[in-house]
Structure 1
Amino acid sequence: MARVAFLGLGVMGYPMAGHLQAKGHEVTVWNRTAAKAQAWVAEHGGRAAASAREAAEGAEFVMACVGNDDDLRSVCLGEAGAFAGMTAGAVFVDHTTVSAQVTRELNDAARALGLGFVDAPVSGGQAGAQNGVLSVMCGGEEADYARAEPVIAAYARICKRLGDSGAGQLAKMVNQIAIAGLVQGLSEALHFAQKAGLDGEAVVEVIAGGAAGSWQMVNRHKTMLADQFDFGFAVDWMRKDLGICLATADQIGASLPGTALIDQYYKDVQQMGGGRWDTSSLIKRLPK
Structure 2
Amino acid sequence: MAVFLNRETRVLCQGMTGWAGTYHVARMMEYGTQVVGGVTPGKGGRSHLNLPVYERVADARRETGANASIVFVPPANAAAAMIEAIEAEMPLVVTVTERIPTLDMVRVRSALKGGRTTLVGANSQGILVPGVGKLGVMATGSERPGGVGIISRSASLTSEVVAQVTAAGLGQSTTIGVGGDPIHGIGMRECLELLLEDADTECVVLIGEIGGTEEEEAAEYLAGARTSKPVIALIVGLEAPLDRRMGHAGALALSGKGDAAGKIRALEAAGVRIAPSAHLVGETVRQALAERS
Q: TM-score range by the shorter chain?
A: 0.3 to 0.5
Q: Would you tell me which structure has more strand in proportion to its own residues?
A: 2
Q: Would you tell me which structure has more helix in proportion to its own residues?
A: 1
**TM-score, structure 1 normalization:** 0.41
Which is greater in Rg?
Answer: 1
